[in-house]
Chains A and B, each alone.
Chain A
Amino acid sequence: MAEGTGRRLEENGKKKIDPGSWIILLLVVILFVFLSATRSNFFTFNNIHSIIYGVSFNFFAAIGFTLLIIMGELDLSVGSLFGFGGAMMGLFVFSYKLPAGVAIALAMLVAALIGLSAGFLVVRFRLNSMMVTIGVMMTVKGINWMLVNKFSGRQLPVNARSFVSVDVFGIKWIILVMVIIAVVLEVLLARSRHLKQLYYIGHNVDTSILYGLNANQVKCICFAVSAALSAFGGALMTARINHPDVTVGSNLEISIITAAVVSGASIFGGRGSIVRTMLGVLFIFTLQNGMTSYGINTYVQQIILGIILILAIYLDIRVNAKKA
């Protein structure tokens, strides 16, 4: 089944499910089985629920990232914009006494503008998106630091943070939202002409432009959306931990890019799925949790994650580097 085609088309006369793309599901299952078997309190509702809860925040940063990676663009600023969302929310709540909802919306708006600027620079000057977004990341990190320092340690008022942990039928609402968004977007990616464009552009941007697609506009919009969604996730996370903090979103881009590539997206574009990325984030997150439960030091975890990233990228190059 060609990536982006979306429905199970008959190929060679029989229905075909592309096995390679769903390796990530297998990986998640294996990991869960392993941990359930070896760690005594792994397979409990509370534990798994809390893992998925943790994943749901990072998921928002991964959505936009996936949309961009389908087009072959990498947004390395997602981590810093994640933190930015929280820092901005803090600013609006503390300095301007705005209610949480408005604060978050404004934070998303500002983030979207930053994303839009980055996208503009990338398409207008034909720059490498990785490099531009690294620059954006450094700048935004600095801004985050400034903002967080300003409100050093101050806790968000209760009404600005309690909404995060509301349960719906015993499950945090964010998890439900994550699942709904993932499913809806997955369907739309296959069935909506607006989102299908991403695959066209990712497979061959010259062909897309030749047949009239406005690749530049689509990319700019996706950069803006990615930034806004990351900020949203970060704002929620900040509400969860009750106060703006510099560690929110730090190094998140590494986990996200690893999650995306491990789950089947390619830095060359043309491949990617929201559900698979969600599974990828789940995999990485559970792996980290599992390693912690084995007493593996966070820093050693970093080394392991780095190895996984490099391995995944190497495999991506071997499999997907377009034949000249």
Chain B
Amino acid sequence: MSLDQSEFLRISNISKCYGVVKALTDVSFCVKKGEIHTVLGENGAGKSTLMKIITGETTPDAGTIELDGQQVKTFSPAAAHDMGIHMVHQELAVFENLTVAENIYPYHNSERAKKIDYKKLYQETQSQLELFGLKTITPDAPMASVTLAGQQMVEILRCIVAQPKVIILDEPTSGLNDSEAELLMQILVRLKNEGLTILYISHRLREIMQISDRVTVLRDGEFVTTLVNDETLTENDLINNMVGRDLSQSLYAIKTDSNAMREEVLLEVKNLAKKNALCSTGLKLHKGEILGVFGLEGSGTTKLSRMMYGLERKDSGEVYIEGEQVSRVNPRSMVQRQVMYLNNNRKSAGLLLDMAVTDNVSLPIVKRVSSRFGLINFKQLDELSLRFIKMFSIALPSLATKPRNLSGGNQQKVMLSACLAPEPKILIANEPTRGIDVGAKAEIHKFLLEIAAKGVGVIVFSSELPELMKLSDRILVMRNNSIAGEVACGDFTEQTIMRYAAVDVTE
């Protein structure tokens, strides 16, 4: 095979930092022409960042990308598009107000000034659909009536008809059921056989084993290895490469005993479900327990956390706090019952970026520091804020500083202070240490362990396995919108947990 073949898409020494977070460090690998190449890794491994760089959405700090011998000079979506790099995004860019045909052919496959020949358009669309075995979708169907899986196929078709050189798919099967995923796999194999180069991001090991030619594993922003998918490759090999960390540092000491009070149930969730988002799920949280919930992208962890707090509607399910059912599950009633929620995306909710830190911390307890007529006792308020600032060692020029001007770690601490200010009985923490430096992470872990020791029940939703193994008394593992398994803290190993998260039990 000539050099052309093996180095069609060449990624060399790519590095990218977002502030203090190193998203990618010196990543290099090659994609062959006409192969299906999977990029595998846990959440936060760097896959999305790498794809953003390849598609020009963002610029690397260092390194180069070469496609078919041509080096990428400008990083922009238009430039990548022109070079023939097309991506099917996870959040579909579909036009639900239009037909399937127009979604596939936005340029209507005809010249600018000519009258659109719908008959011809539908025929061409129909032949494309048939070619890919999509029998249930008709060209003139409104996109809104097509299922999510169908919409995904349509978006893939849109990419393909533009005849790209490389097509990138980001978790295309999240949200698809087994038969739909199967169909997609078949389509991808067919495309590959016709010479298309496919870069595929997924953590679904079964699919990866089924269709990939080669698999590149990323971990913590670094390149681990590229494996060839021959007969000797097993899922264990993949799992081992995904996780195999040196866990001997104290930052990630694994918890081995639990001292939670297993008798007292603080929070119970029963039959929580929502069409296409969550299968009937239930869990129990005990006093003084840290319950970890782990899942890879698309497994339903965030939806579960939001539905149990009332941030999203559910189709069914009940929530019980200390035995009593919560009649209307919404944040207000949860806060009244001393349950607080630490949000996973502090920029969208959880912080008031442009108000003083002291206002942020005191938001949930402003009633407590006010007189009967509602006048705020600022002295009390500031004392309370100072207490938390000291407790968390938040580096702050003054109480009036705005969270927007703080580092990610300090922002997270401010948010945590706001959640803990009302001295809750239960804390639901969604990604409590996302995007912050190692030092701040350790501090937050220490604090979560401390409050649990005092009897607070904590549920930690996280995609960082080492974190969960350090904190949790038990870990629930989610896959495909339901709980796939539970691991107790005597039995924590990355492999065990990852197997629940990534492997289909029905094999």
Interface residues of A (CB under 8 A from B): 1-5, 7, 9-13, 16, 191-194, 196, 199-200, 203-204, 206-214, 270
Contact = CB atoms under 8 A, between A and B. Distances in A.
Contacts, number: 99
Interface string B356-369: 10110001101100
Contact of A212 (B335, B373, B398): B335
A212 B370 CA distance: 16
A211 B398 contact: no
B353 interface: yes
Interface in B315-369: 331-332, 334-336, 340-341, 343, 348-356, 358-359, 363-364, 366-367
Contact of A203 (B331, B354, B370): B354
Contact of B356 (A5, A204, A209, A210): A5
A204 B397 CA distance: 24
Contact of A209 (B331, B352, B378, B401): B331
B466 to A, nearest CB: 28
Interface in B371-422: 373-376, 378, 397-402, 418
A4 B352 CA distance: 12
A12 B353 contact: no
Interface in B114-165: none
A3 B355 contact: yes
Interface of B is mostly: loop
Given A7-B378, A203-B355, 6 more contacts: A193-B376, A207-B351, A207-B363, A210-B331, A210-B350, A212-B335
B402 A2 contact: yes
B351 A2 contact: no
Contacts of B370: 192-193
Contacts of A214: 332
A5 B366 contact: no
B335 A2 contact: no
Contacts of A196: 359, 366, 376
B62 interface: no
19 contacts: A2-B402, A3-B354, A5-B358, A7-B378, A9-B398, A9-B400, A11-B397, A11-B401, A12-B397, A191-B378, A192-B370, A193-B375, A203-B353, A203-B355, A210-B343, A211-B363, A211-B364, A212-B331, A212-B334
A13 B349 CA distance: 29
A190 to B, nearest CB: 8
Nearest to B366: A193
B442 interface: no
B378 A212 contact: no
A206 B348 contact: yes
Contacts of B335: 211-212
B399 to A, nearest CB: 6
Nearest to A8: B400
Contact of A2 (B354, B373, B418): B354
A258 to B, nearest CB: 24
Nearest to A190: B376
Contacts of A194: 374
Contacts of B359: 2, 4-5, 196, 199-200
Given A12-B397, A212-B364, A207 B349 contact: yes
The 4 residue pairs across chains A and B that have the minimum distance between CB atoms = A212-B335, A9-B400, A206-B349, A211-B364
Given A196-B366, A207-B351, A211-B363, A191 B375 contact: yes
B311 interface: yes
Contacts of B350: 207, 210
B366 A203 contact: no
B352 A200 contact: yes
Nearest to A201: B352
A9 B336 contact: no
A209 B202 CA distance: 35
B57 to A, nearest CB: 13
B363 A208 contact: yes
B374 A10 contact: no
A212 B336 contact: yes
